[in-house]
A and B are shown apart, each in its own frame.
Chain A
């Protein structure tokens, strides 16, 4: 069998080699440079798993504990490595368990190729055991999906899948393979990567006139302001972006998915946008004269009330996805294209400037925010531990070099606000979908995607309990993930809203936790729990020093709130500091 495997790359149309559909799937992975698969076997995908048995030295398979964990791990892998995540699941429930992760990857533009098993083609539509119409279920949450019923299609379809997932605006692709196609022997003629699909244009054509108009606007601007998103990271355009803002002297603020594209201590990095973002970037969105949006999509959590959003400003919108242009906010100059290409063209045309006074305006707001919010959050003198001081202590110990994976809720906002990052692809979070339970499996994947880097998952007590079955994956795969639970004994973000907008009617937000230290111990993972700030740094250091996975639970203030906050239905300039 081994000898046979080696020869497969020599297959050509003239000299085909007979193999099974399952082998063709794995050959495609090898040709695409896949090294890790996250998956869970089951009846309808058994032929692929059988073939995988012979590929175990070439393809690492991580057995997860639930398919949702598998796909989130695939997402974490993709986000930390910049490559396409690969996931296996069986038909029926295995496939439907992928749906949350697909929706998350679709809205956060994460490249994934998911393979699901399907019942024999002759059983399609008969309500066969573990049959579900996964193609139609996943159509709204995939960039592309396809059902294979004949093994001959497999090489081309997988080539298309990898091409579509990773190019243009990336996204998840699902390939559903009927069991007969997995078993079917066919004449394999070799694997050819896909580089063109006539109906699919990953990059819109760049129009030079728009670049020129954009540059003219920037050059005339007195108060230009850059807001950037994940497009900079997905386009691998961090260096181009930095060169652009540095030459034109532009203050730049990020969406949470754009975080880490520009180092947090860069002098022109003025902070975070949106509902729990920084004071200056939100207020000054409604004061700037030219707003330059790079690879971001004006989510409602970023814009607040749309009819009061940056009405005074001229808008330049750089995006690779034409559907994003004018979707939420009307642009003055739409710069369609890959920002890897458009940013340098723009940089070449903009004047070298400093905008010192304008940049100082941001600092004035930072000072106010510092006094009213940040100092208390990061350096509280007494009382319960705050989430902010945990993140701040972590910053000191990691120097901003760790990958931080966050779940969803208060801890996510605090971590994004205060975590320091030196390197791109370091902040991994569920932004668009807001999927609680994302962080633990995503952190596992992130570690496989960037094995040389420290991965710290910051998770709330609610989110941790949604996917804690993946502790089993950590145990078995012996992957080193640092789990930092910020436990406030509440579903904190919902509680905060109930406090602020529902007269403190705390409806079902009081959540109990197991003894996490005992829990991880059962999985052979070391853990610790602290509630006294004098132990904080030491406990964090111990967590970071651990070679293996480690869980640290920090008891934080039960009813602490995240501020500043743009209340729903308000304009970004109505942001509240308390």
Chain B
């Protein structure tokens, strides 16, 4: 069954990497529903948060393709119950309309919204939450001459994650193999095989 997955990708900060990651989806005709790029908990490491609707099997393969990219350190995928996520929305409405016809106080209380800017001509409200929550406020404001609406990409925290610091140390170690591998042929690696 297709369901919503949130993919978290830890990367180097590199020009062109966004394209490299994006084409992994577009090549397979998969639509990215939401994309956010930001710094992460580890210094110098960036964090992509990508939301798509797909089968688990497909998402697993996509993550392996993403990890193949030279500047990607790690890609995780999670379902909604494994993460805590938020989206931020901004609403610009005519101040007169809202002041006269809406009970602004009720609005702020019920939707956890706050007014970011109040001017004579317009007011901007902001709310954060899940899609349904920001949608609800949108529905309430729509009849009052909504001038502009914008919603941000999803940002998500993985509940089970201990952060990337330890993982990063592993990546920074020159020798990733913890166990010594014994192999009589390894010393002759450069020799060209011939019969």
For B, the interface residue count at a CB cutoff of 8 angstroms equals 38
Most buried by A among B11, B185, B191: B185
Task: Pick the interface stretch among B16-24, B78-86, B103-111, B126-134.
Answer: B16-24
Given A263-B195, A326-B61, A424-B194, A321:B176 Cβ within 8 A: no
Given A198-B171, A205-B177, A239:B193 Cβ within 8 A: yes
B51 at the interface (CB under 8 A from A): no
The answer to whether A82 and B192 touch across the interface, beta carbons within 8 angstroms, is yes
Given A198-B172, A239-B193, A205:B65 Cβ within 8 A: no
Task: Pick the interface stretch among A134-142, A181-189, A213-221, A503-511.
Answer: A134-142
Task: Pick the interface stretch among B67-75, B92-100, B155-163.
Answer: B67-75
Selected contact of A340 from candidates B15, B19, B183, CB within 8 Å: B183
A322→B168 CA distance, assembly (Å): 19
A206→B179 CA distance, assembly (Å): 9
In the assembled complex, which residues on chain A have CB atoms less than 8 Å from the CB atom of B65?
Answer: 323
B184 at the interface (CB under 8 A from A): yes
A201 at the interface (CB under 8 A from B): yes
Closest chain-A Cβ to B46's Cβ sits at a distance in Å of 11
The answer to whether A201 and B171 touch across the interface, beta carbons within 8 angstroms, is yes
The answer to whether A425 and B171 touch across the interface, beta carbons within 8 angstroms, is no
B3 at the interface (CB under 8 A from A): no
The answer to whether A344 and B183 touch across the interface, beta carbons within 8 angstroms, is yes
The answer to whether B189 and A341 touch across the interface, beta carbons within 8 angstroms, is no
Q: Mark B162-184, 1 if CB is under 8 A from A, else 0.
A: 00000010011010111101011
A144→B168 CA distance, assembly (Å): 21
A308 at the interface (CB under 8 A from B): no
The B interface, classified by DSSP as helix, strand, loop or mixed, is: loop
The answer to whether B183 and A323 touch across the interface, beta carbons within 8 angstroms, is no
Given A139-B19, A199-B12, A340-B189, A423:B194 Cβ within 8 A: yes
The answer to whether A239 and B20 touch across the interface, beta carbons within 8 angstroms, is no
The answer to whether B70 and A144 touch across the interface, beta carbons within 8 angstroms, is yes
B27 at the interface (CB under 8 A from A): yes
In the assembled complex, which residues on chain B have CB atoms less than 8 Å from the CB atom of A236?
Answer: 189-193
The answer to whether A199 and B195 touch across the interface, beta carbons within 8 angstroms, is no
Most buried by A among B19, B20, B195: B195
Most buried by A among B71, B179, B186, B193: B193
Closest chain-A Cβ to B189's Cβ sits at a distance in Å of 6
Closest B-chain residue to A238, C-beta based?
A: B193
Given A201-B171, A341-B183, A424-B194, A323:B71 Cβ within 8 A: no
In the assembled complex, which residues on chain B have CB atoms less than 8 Å from the CB atom of A425?
Answer: 192
B64 at the interface (CB under 8 A from A): yes
A103→B162 CA distance, assembly (Å): 39
The answer to whether B195 and A423 touch across the interface, beta carbons within 8 angstroms, is yes
A290→B71 CA distance, assembly (Å): 36
The answer to whether B70 and A199 touch across the interface, beta carbons within 8 angstroms, is yes
The answer to whether A145 and B16 touch across the interface, beta carbons within 8 angstroms, is yes
In the assembled complex, which residues on chain B have CB atoms less than 8 Å from the CB atom of A422?
Answer: 195
A345 at the interface (CB under 8 A from B): yes
A197 at the interface (CB under 8 A from B): yes
The answer to whether B181 and A206 touch across the interface, beta carbons within 8 angstroms, is yes
The answer to whether A140 and B185 touch across the interface, beta carbons within 8 angstroms, is no
A249→B60 CA distance, assembly (Å): 35
In the assembled complex, which residues on chain B have CB atoms less than 8 Å from the CB atom of A206?
Answer: 177, 179, 181
Closest chain-A Cβ to B61's Cβ sits at a distance in Å of 6
The answer to whether A345 and B70 touch across the interface, beta carbons within 8 angstroms, is no
Selected contact of A239 from candidates B70, B72, B168, B185, CB within 8 Å: B185
A389 at the interface (CB under 8 A from B): no
A534 at the interface (CB under 8 A from B): no
In the assembled complex, which residues on chain B have CB atoms less than 8 Å from the CB atom of A322?
Answer: 64, 67-68
In the assembled complex, which residues on chain B have CB atoms less than 8 Å from the CB atom of A461?
Answer: none
The answer to whether B178 and A205 touch across the interface, beta carbons within 8 angstroms, is yes
In the assembled complex, which residues on chain A have CB atoms less than 8 Å from the CB atom of B11?
Answer: 199
A263→B194 CA distance, assembly (Å): 10
The answer to whether B176 and A345 touch across the interface, beta carbons within 8 angstroms, is no
In the assembled complex, which residues on chain A have CB atoms less than 8 Å from the CB atom of B72?
Answer: 199
Given A341-B186, A423-B195, A199:B64 Cβ within 8 A: no
Closest B-chain residue to A421, C-beta based?
A: B195
A208 at the interface (CB under 8 A from B): yes
The answer to whether A136 and B193 touch across the interface, beta carbons within 8 angstroms, is no
The answer to whether A344 and B176 touch across the interface, beta carbons within 8 angstroms, is no
In the assembled complex, which residues on chain B have CB atoms less than 8 Å from the CB atom of A144?
Answer: 70
In the assembled complex, which residues on chain A have CB atoms less than 8 Å from the CB atom of B179?
Answer: 206, 208
Most buried by B among A144, A198, A199, A341: A199
In the assembled complex, which residues on chain B have CB atoms less than 8 Å from the CB atom of A139?
Answer: 16, 19-20, 23
In the assembled complex, which residues on chain B have CB atoms less than 8 Å from the CB atom of A145?
Answer: 16
The answer to whether A200 and B177 touch across the interface, beta carbons within 8 angstroms, is no
Closest chain-B Cβ to A161's Cβ sits at a distance in Å of 10
In the assembled complex, which residues on chain B have CB atoms less than 8 Å from the CB atom of A205?
Answer: 176-178
Closest B-chain residue to A173, C-beta based?
A: B70
6 contacts between A and B (CB under 8 A): A145-B16, A198-B73, A199-B73, A203-B177, A236-B190, A238-B193
Residues of A within 8 A of B (CB): 82, 135-136, 139-140, 143-147, 164, 195-201, 203, 205-206, 208, 236-240, 263, 321-323, 325-327, 340-341, 344-345, 422-425
Pairs of residues from A and B, 9 with the lowest C-beta to C-beta distance, nearest first: A238-B193, A323-B64, A144-B70, A344-B183, A198-B171, A199-B73, A424-B193, A200-B70, A196-B174
In the complex, besides A195-B174, A198-B171, A199-B171, 13 extra interface pairs with C-beta distance below 8 angstroms are A139-B23, A143-B70, A146-B16, A198-B73, A199-B71, A203-B177, A239-B185, A322-B67, A323-B61, A326-B60, A341-B181, A345-B181, A423-B193
